[in-house]
Structure 1
């Protein structure tokens, strides 16, 4: 905020007694405004953490709960991007364009993934009112066509989202061993390997502790707002082996028994009423006694890894809390610890999976019991990209029905939450049962800081914040709840909460194939649950049709009010930008890349899937011979790489981690400048089919080989395309994760669709001229 007071007199000499100017003001929030720490864990069901009766030990969460409050009826949206945008703005997810994840955005206002300027994020409001702001971990709110290192950065944390510092990843998930990271908007090189002790959760925790320490050392009078979102425990479930081994044998009883055990503990803790009912087992999932005996150890290990991952993450949250205590600022810090941005994820399928991308590529049938059994010792490690089975996801959502993605039922949306603020909360270790929603976080923080809701931010008039402050409940356990009506919707799964009653309908099953035929929306069966039914166990729809109709009508009113319509249950069409109606960064049939470009997510690279294509590079081979990666895309869970090995040109197609297909030149590459090229002749006949890969050097064929099958939809969720190296988890087993850079010079690489000149040689100058001409 600049000094805009105009002086009455401008003198010639500043020493003149009449030369007077007011001091430059410093913007600070009202006296007593607390520091704020919002911790958001990923993909954790209500029944997972020990703090809410689950089997996964969370001592840091329990410590905060003992000194603060546990909220038992706090809700999210059932999916990550929508929950996060709602949290960061105080508005419903469709209101801010986030009706789904960013990767399936459409042109409809409620689903565009574009936040209106009239609904500014909380961090911006706090920054403009004198807070220091920082974001660590996951950011899944950036429209996919804006996720490249070229920006624009309007929706990035340090761009238009109000954070002064960011350290984390852009997208839905990260390989915890080999994350693709940014500091601000600058790509970060990870200097250590997993074998040297690297893992993202401790890394981001170290960065957070350092940032807070520096902020308090330099500006102790200025409060901070820190958003700590590790991306754990979203798949892949990556954790050091010793943490998973802590749970050896603890899940041998299976997921059905685990639900019963968790349910009993929840009653003992008082996080559910004594008369609550455990909802019936999901009929679509095999009962534990139906699982073959020789496969049960695999399923049990999946859960051991997940439990270790959650405890490991909570352990590092504990380090962060210790740091606040050591700085003597914990009592004056409002801490929100939200245990999940939705319910537990059922995207691992009935068996679970070693490579989560199998789900998105339609290859889960290959994740057979035999395949998983052979890899049981690798679960959670750097070679895996694992996810647990549906049965465990349902158990982690005890006592409720359904899971992540299912916004209709509490299993998808009810997440245990702890609030800790000794200077603002008199109660210690108490429980609060008032209904709350993630949109309530922003207004709570503003009220705690004694800041008004913004009327104008950066020149844009603001629309009202849609959440309700939870501050009224901090010191009054019996206060009547103020958030009395809330709609829910995700993928056609719909629900309404109104004065304790809920009307809900499940439309799509999370583990169904992405191309599964959906019923007509009007054919969905609605259920009705009373205000006395804590778990949604007793459907009253047939007994009380008038009440059901009343809530259905109110749901439609809320849906109209908040941009939910038109309902859109498509998935395959929304994955394709052409049919979804969202912009794409790369258009046309070719893309020119240069040395040093890297970490380009798949939405920023020409799609060469399911079609014939070529990769052409101009390189200079050193006298000692060629070695290293020329260009790569993807990771050890799927992708392709063109590289030099022992002086020879080589191509590897990694088919989802199931099999690697290699083509290699017969002769070593001579020193000097050369054009190397890989042509892929796609066999056709549908998606994910095979083809023939042919290598050329200076237009001369030097190698050929078959690729039996390809990946139809995605290589990796976070490992991108690199020119001159393969960052992250390596595509090919021929080289490691570090030290794989090309040892010569790369003057340019061209990706082209169905461009196969007869002489297999292109003029690099013409390629550059053509590329520039289209800009």
Structure 2
């Protein structure tokens, strides 16, 4: 009996050894997570007499490279030195000289859609990301909620043995899911990133950002030298060093996505000073210079024509001296912001080199997620939130000139004039938001991987799209496209690998058809032709209904800049491409077209879920803070009251009872030296303050603020704010105007503290914490 038992053990041991040797060969990487090998039951009684089977470990394919994807924000094709720009991007240019520069790479014309397409390899409507998450609707293709059958490249790599991390802007999570209540299914940590450090919205104040580390809010240093661009670069370097120190055999994937150079254009003065006078010649001369440099560098064909600029953009010579001075300053700050961004990105690349990993790291450096932004309008903006609230004073020249010397510092939240966006999108006509023109969708990209790509400083002109990055990574790493991820059958990847271009510079393009759509601006590329229509300009409202739009036709194989409309000469080709667009639109859930913008910030009008939808009351307690605008009850365009139970203690209290927003728009119920106050900050332009007649009593009291709205159904009207202490009226103020659409993209609401920037000048961030105690705060909509 014993001999028979030992024989079984020997057979089992042989099976173990055989299973271990064939383990890698048997792994099916199309179904994730990977399944370990089957081992027979152990029949040995004593562990000392038994041989343990090998522990199954998930490992990346042999010799798999590290992967780093760098994605800048709101920078167009003419924005890098390697593509002829006057803007400083030395680290991008250095990478281009040692790698491959792609001059026909395309994005979606807007932030969230490009980012979702980038990390999934699917079209943005397939990811339900028709527009940015803040204006999601209930229509399929536009819900803002990444489907379970669309796994990210981060999740695929993580489940195949990579360490994964994301830094900077994560603008892909549905806005109503960004709260302590979750769900966290679509947060960075749950779509494939082991580590996340960044912000969750479309933009952030670079001096005082709303930062998360994984699932938790982080209070950034209250330091005048702090800047998020520097912080995120440092954090990514620290993580890579730690990861390589502990697991040097394990490759890493880093998604490095700055909020730059998206507004607000925030940058230290030392960078701005380097740009002084560089843009005094104006956007027409600068645009022409970029164009000529592009031809000289060979990044555009020698016979390319400079496309006409939009009719709304004035000639620089027709501007007043004051306008020229202000607009040149705006460009100086934008250039400085890009300089800093490229420098900090260069630190990350240098850190990889210092670790000895640069040669075996596949880097995609994508200079922009769409064209340069023209959302600053014709004059630029002191505070970008004035654009979303249709406040004209924010773009008034005389008003903005007050901030000329401080443009870009913490006292501003600025954007630049659209004329510069057109210049930095050279040689094209249009800008961000215009998906029907390459000015909105063509971005410079460098691919760098010395161990595999032997060509250096060469240009690749194959036509490609942002959905092609994920399948390129899979091919480079040696992984198949997964069929099943976390139990869910996957929608096929819709992009095409670009790896064939690495060794064959003249190979024909393999991505031959691609639709584009954004706010009704729509078009289609097909095998060297492009048809599209500009339905709405970035700075204006739609002028036509969709059936009335005028389409244009370009033979982009011969017309790089889309300068010559051939729709009249080839109506039959235009008709075919229009039909092709409709076919793609049906295939990828593009319909119905939706050209609404500001009104979609209202979840009721948009039809999307909202945490506070239909609620008239919200009660919060001390310590509840960091609530983004979509997590907080909407007090805009209505009457409401705040009732707070506080305990001042024995000494006069100071600090915030409750606040929402910050320096560039919001409100606060606060106390100074025991005196209750209510401040309404209208877009950083005016502050209306109700001040109590006397100090709060020692111990417990009830503080109430009642706001009586004057507008009825009219949005953005004023009203009267009245303060009460223990039911007695103690002060009031008239508020002339209110913000009807949005207080801030990133400033939060909270009880007992005012995080990020402060609503009122009566306290600063350090002194905003309430010195007494707060029982509860109730907000009621009337």
TM-score interval (norm. to shorter): over 0.9
Aligned twin of 2:258: 230
Q: Given the alignment, which residue of 188, 194, 207 partners 1:177? A: 207
Which of 381, 387, 392 is the equivalent residue of 1:364? 392
Aligned equivalents of 2:43 and 2:246: distance in 1? Answer: 34
Q: Could you list the per-position Cα deviations for residues 100-150 of structure 1 after superposition, in whole angstroms to 9, with x for gaps in the alignment?
A: 111111111110111111111111111000010000000111111101122
Quote the Cα distance in structure 2 between the aligned partners of 1:244 and 1:600.
33
Q: Please give the secondary structure, in 1, of the residue aligned with 2:317.
A: helix
User: Hey, what does 1:520 align to over in structure 2?
Assistant: 545
Structure-to-structure mapping, 1:549-628, within 5 angstroms: 549-587=575-613, 588-628=615-655
Contact persistence 2:96–2:446 (CA under 8 A)? yes
**Stretch of structure 1 that moved more, 371-380 or 579-588:** 579-588
Distance 1:666 1:574 in 2: 41
Q: 1:448 to 1:366 in 2, by over 3 A?
A: closer
Deviations 1:389-448 (A, max 9, x none): 010011110000110000000000000001110001010111111111000000000000
For the Cα contact (< 8 Å) 1:612–1:682, is it kept in 2?
yes
1:641-665: CA deviation from partner (whole Å, max 9, x where unpaired)? 1111121001110011110001111
- Could you give the per-residue CA deviations for residues 231-285 of structure 1, whole angstroms, max 9, x where no partner exists? 1100000000111111111111111111100000101111101000000121111
* Cα deviation 1:701-749 (Å, max 9, x = unaligned): 1111111111111111100102111111111011112232000111111
The alpha-carbon deviation at position 4 of structure 1 amounts to 5.8
1:509 aligned to which of 537, 552, 560: 537
Secondary structure of 1:666's aligned partner:
coil
In structure 1, the residue matched to 2:176 is 145
In the alignment, which of 407, 414, 417 is matched to residue 435 of structure 2?
A: 407
Match of 2:361 among 326, 330, 333: 333
d(CA) in 2 for partners of 1:231, 1:192: 20
- Residue 449 (structure 1) shift: 0.2
Q: 2:407 pairs with 379, 382, 385, which one?
A: 379
Q: Indicate conservation of the 8 Å contact 1:34/1:333, yes or no.
A: yes
How far does residue 586 in structure 1 lie from its aligned partner after superposition? 1.4
SS at match of 2:758: coil
Give the Cα separation in 1 of the matches to 2:266 and 2:133: 24
Other structure's SS at 1:497 match: strand
Which is worse superposed, 574-583 or 62-71? Answer: 574-583
User: Deviation above 3 Å: which 4+ runs of structure 1?
Assistant: 1-4
1:166 to 191, 196, 202: 196
Aligned-partner Cα distance in 2 for 1:149–1:212? 28
Q: Match for residue 221 of structure 2?
A: 191
Secondary structure at 2:188 match in 1: coil
Matches of residues 686-725 of structure 1 in structure 2 within 5 Å? 686-725=714-753
Q: Distance in 2 between matches of 1:580 and 1:304?
A: 38
1:677 paired residue among 704, 711, 721: 704
- Please list, as runs of the form range in 1=range in 2, the aligned pairs for 1:5-44 lying within 5 A after superposition: 5-15=38-48, 17=49, 19-44=50-75
Cα shift readout 1:42-83 (whole Å, capped 9, x = no counterpart): 000111111211111111101111110100000000000000
Q: Please state how far the C-alpha of 1:594 moved relative to its aligned partner.
A: 1.3
Which whole-Å CA distance do the structure 1 matches of 2:368 and 2:343 have between them?
16
Deviation at 1:11, TM superposition (A): 3.5
Paired with 2:684 and 2:472, the residues of 1 have a C-alpha distance of 46
- What are the superposed Cα offsets for residues 160-204 of structure 1, whole Å, 9 maximum, x if unpaired? x110000000010000000000000101011232x2x10000100
The aligned residue for residue 25 of structure 2 is none
1:78 to 92, 109, 124: 109
Aligned counterpart for 2:154 among listed residues 109, 123, 127:
123
Question: Hey, what does 2:92 align to over in structure 1?
Answer: 61
Q: In 1, Cα distance between the equivalents of 2:769 and 2:543? A: 47
Alpha-carbon separation, structure 2, partners of 1:51 and 1:623: 65
Matched, 1:427 2:473: no
Output the CA distance in 1 between the equivalents of 2:222 and 2:605: 41
In 1: Cα distance, 2:487 partner to 2:309 partner: 53
Q: Which runs of 5+ in 1 are unaligned?
A: 755-775
Q: CA deviation at 1:3?
A: 4.7
> What is the CA-CA distance between 1:572 and the residue it aligns to?
4.1
Structure 2 Cα separation of the partners of residues 103 and 709 of structure 1: 24
- Give, in angstroms, the shift of residue 366 of structure 1: 4.4
1:525 deviates by: 0.5
3-state SS in 1 of match to 2:692: strand
SS at match of 1:547: helix
Contact 1:101 1:113 in 2 (8 A): yes
Would you say the 8 A contact 1:113–1:141 is kept in 2? yes
Structure 1 residues 540-576: Cα deviation after superposition (integer angstroms, max 9, x where no partner): 0001101111111111111111111111112244222
Q: State whether residues 7 and 21 of structure 1, in contact with CA within 8 Å, keep that contact through their aligned partners in structure 2.
A: no
Shift of 1:9: 2.9
Give 3-state SS (helix, strand or coil) of 2:270's partner.
Answer: helix
Counterpart of 2:236 in structure 1 is 208
Among candidates 667, 691, 706, match of residue 664 of structure 1:
691
Secondary structure of the residue that 2:694 maps to in structure 1?
A: strand
DSSP-derived class of the 1:25 partner: coil
Kept in 2, the 8 Å contact 1:727–1:738? The answer is no
- Seen in structure 2, the aligned counterparts of structure 1 residues 7 and 739 have a Cα distance that, compared at 3 Å, is farther
Report SS of the residue matched to 1:111.
Answer: coil
CA-atom RMSD, angstroms?
1.1
1:633 and 1:41 map into 2 onto residues whose CA distance is: 29
Q: Which whole-Å CA distance do the structure 1 matches of 2:769 and 2:605 have between them?
A: 38
Instruction: Tell me what 2:26 maps to.
Output: none
Partner of 1:640: 667
Secondary structure in 2 matching 1:399: coil
Q: Is the 8 A contact 1:349 1:364 kept in 2?
A: no
Instruction: In structure 2, list runs of 5 or more residues that go unmatched.
Output: 1-33
Check 1:10–1:620 CA distance in 2 against 1; reply closer, same or farther (3 A cut): farther
- Is contact 1:158–1:184 with CA below 8 Å preserved after alignment? yes
Checking the alignment, whether the CA contact within 8 Å between 1:167 and 1:183 is kept in structure 2 is yes
